[in-house]
Structure 1
């Protein structure tokens, strides 16, 4: 567990130092005033794509020897549109994506507790209504 804790702390430091958790940087992105966040998001997308390709092509195993597989996504557009709209509305209202919530909390920005509470509420509500949502 220590390895995961250290990886999380490292990721948090990277988010703070790269200003990915900065409300001002996010506002610059939404106003098309700066390329900074688009570069960060683009590099994350490319890293995710490369990792997915490597996991699909390689015979990769977990630490305990189980095969790691990447299952194909389901077809259909409704779930992605609804999910994207929900994510976007939350991002627009709070001014940040959910990733830096714990980072900002760790940095001592206590008002982020409101965002955390609503993120947890949204997760709970998804669990309640998931059987009625398009998947």
Structure 2
């Protein structure tokens, strides 16, 4: 993807969100005032279900400051870049539509904990039985 092309078209982004950085293995969107960052980064799929044989996957994370300390937490892992971009967009829309106090990290966390990611990478600790 050319460096001047947005991974997610600008007209699909909710107000106040913009692309902060991106490359082949990393995409970051940011909302200023208050600062909230949503990140999708390619990572080792070391905790994925062994039958899948995945070596790499995408982890979605969010980062926000609590005072002077940046806090980061995982939203989840997905198997493709397309699923990661869809997940980032879903997170942005949820924050925009459902978080009333953007300065409340617990409210942001509660909203992002409810994000349902498509194309999720099953982990080895899953309770559901695997079927061939």
Largest Rg, 1 or 2: 1
Q: Looking at secondary structure, tell me which structure has more helix per residue.
A: 1
Greater fraction strand: 2
TM over 0.5: no
- TM-score normalised by L of structure 2: 0.26
Q: Whose RCO is larger (CA < 8 A, sep 6+)? A: 1
TM-score with structure 1 setting the length: 0.25
